[in-house]
Amino acid sequence: MCAVPPGTAVARSLRLELADIVRTHGDAYRRTHRLAPVQHRALRAIATCRTAALGGHQETCDHCGAVRVSYNSCRNRHCPKCQTLTKERWLTARKADLLPIPYFHVVFTLPHDLNALAQGNPRVLYALLFRAAADTLLTFGRDPRHLGGTIGITAILHTWGQALTQHLHLHCLVTGGALAADGAQWISGRSSFLFPVRALATVFRAKYLAGLQRAYDDGQLAFAGGTTPLADRRTFAGVLGQLRAVDWVVYTKRPFAGPEQVLEYLGRYTHRVALSNNRLVDHGEGRVRFRWKDYADHDRLKVMTLEVDEFLRRFLLHVVPRGFMRIRHFGLLANRTRRTLVGRCRDLLGQPRPTAAPPASVTQLRQRLVGVDLTRCPVCREGHMQITVIVGPGSPLLDTS
């Protein structure tokens, strides 16, 4: 028998989390700063995630009586504690789309001169980033000088840099080949080269600025604060001219070795939030310290110290509009035609179509991540945890005595 007395609670980790900072300083920050509704919701969700405020359940070991309390997740996409399972579900679904071909990683970056305009118009500027990047890649893919067919693209929006500053860029996973227009042939690309990056950057810049001009002409842009002068047509045209005169950044990484490496890559980029809990060092006396990688200094890992208000301001820069899709698919992978086109590509490549697997449960996903049986009692290692109490949101704390 287990030596642990019945009713013994299973210990929890006390590591610093973003939720600790939000619970301590979030209310004061909301009172003194003007926030968008989606930013208010994000702060409230992060503060209450996996607390009694959202309800939960209590499990008891059927062998030794040890108790484990589990509170419900907030499921907000900006919460660092709620993205791991979402990512695993997404990766499982996308696994069926992978083809036995090389894949390329292409990154499109917006100039920082657009940051202020993006803060006031995130939905417009972010959507335009997707459209301009995808149209650029699809145009090059259909050009017979390159591939001459339809490529597949998965695009993932990131708005941050390592220091939580605004860095608007799009990570694109692109097929190293294309489906011919008549669907009768798979066109293989070069093994180590996709498209010329300078030409990509030039076309991307032209498409984005043309879209930005259309948004202005259609009255889709709002101007306030530092962007107020841009409401004047001549001033706006002057800024577009300046942006047209500078080089925009597009780069392509070498192709991935195979589907497994593609999935590993996707897992690093798909459901990330601006700051994960494991980067936090400490907070106190009105300051927050967190780790960051300085790419300008040979990727050295450093610790940054920010006042709490500045830390929260930077974090909230990366809360995207409600309902905005941060991951989108184009070409062969477009949602409406994906199944048909990917299936046709498989046939041409001689790859059998995968059999549909039943969706994994939350418990199965968690066990896959941690590599242990989560139903097994962590105290005695002999019994199994059984749900004994369920409480709703806002109910009193579960009994762990």
Lowest mean pLDDT among 55-69, 256-270, 317-331, 349-363: 349-363
The tokens describing 339, both together, are: 């199944």
User: What local confidence, expressed as pLDDT, does residue 181 receive?
Assistant: 95
Measured between alpha carbons, how far is 401 from 76 in angstroms, rounded to an integer? 31
Give the residue, 1 or 131, on which the prediction is more confident.
Answer: 131
Work out the angle at residue 256's Cα, subtended by the Cα atoms of residues 335 and 207, and round it to the nearest 5 degrees.
Answer: 55
Mean pLDDT over the full length of the chain:
89
User: What local confidence, expressed as pLDDT, does residue 9 receive?
Assistant: 46
Among candidate residues 397, 399, 380, the one with its CA nearest the CA of residue 388: 399
Summarize pLDDT for 329-341 with one digit per residue, the tens: 999 999 999 999 9
User: How large a percentage of the chain has pLDDT more than 90?
Assistant: 72
Summarize pLDDT for 268-293 with one digit per residue, the tens: 778 888 999 999 999 999 999 999 99
Arithmetic mean of pLDDT, 175-189: 95
User: What local confidence, expressed as pLDDT, does residue 46 receive?
Assistant: 96
Measured between alpha carbons, how far is 196 from 210 in angstroms, rounded to an integer? 21
Lowest mean pLDDT among 30-39, 150-159, 286-295, 374-383: 374-383
User: What local confidence, expressed as pLDDT, does residue 253 receive?
Assistant: 84
Lowest mean pLDDT among 12-26, 129-143, 199-213, 387-401: 387-401
Instruction: Characterize 88-127 residue by residue with b for buried, 16 or more Cβ atoms within 10 angstroms of its Cβ, and e for exposed.
Output: bebeeebeebbbebbbbbbbbbbeeebbbbbebbbebbbb
pLDDT bin (cut points 50, 70, 90) of residue 392 is confident
The tokens describing 10, both together, are: 């299973």
User: How large a percentage of the chain has pLDDT more than 70?
Assistant: 90
Helix (H) or strand (E) holding 58: strand 56-61
Lowest mean pLDDT among 107-121, 141-155, 300-314, 387-401: 387-401
Tell me whether strands 177-180 and 149-150 are parallel, antiparallel or unpaired: antiparallel
CA pseudo-torsion sign 384, 389, 393, 399: negative
Measured between alpha carbons, how far is 49 from 41 in angstroms, rounded to an integer? 12
Arithmetic mean of pLDDT, 150-171: 95
User: What local confidence, expressed as pLDDT, does residue 13 receive?
Assistant: 47
Summarize pLDDT for 307-319 with one digit per residue, the tens: 999 999 999 999 9
User: What local confidence, expressed as pLDDT, does residue 369 receive?
Assistant: 54
Instruction: Report whether pLDDT(51) > 70.
Output: yes
User: What local confidence, expressed as pLDDT, does residue 270 receive?
Assistant: 83
The tokens describing 26, both together, are: 């979030």
User: What local confidence, expressed as pLDDT, does residue 353 receive?
Assistant: 79
Arithmetic mean of pLDDT, 62-88: 89
Tell me whether strands 56-61 and 385-391 are parallel, antiparallel or unpaired: antiparallel
Identity of the amino acid at 401: S
Summarize pLDDT for 354-376 with one digit per residue, the tens: 766 555 555 555 555 555 677 88
Measured between alpha carbons, how far is 305 from 303 in angstroms, rounded to an integer? 7
Measured between alpha carbons, how far is 193 from 252 in angstroms, rounded to an integer? 9
Count of other CB atoms within 10 angstroms of residue 187: 18
User: What local confidence, expressed as pLDDT, does residue 363 receive?
Assistant: 58
The tokens describing 359, both together, are: 């969706």
Q: What are phi and psi of 93, to 5 degrees?
A: -70, -40
In sequence order, the 6+-apart residues with CB closer than 8 A to the CB of 33 are: 309, 313
Q: Which residue has the tokens 């949602």?
A: 335
Instruction: Report whether pLDDT(74) > 50.
Output: yes
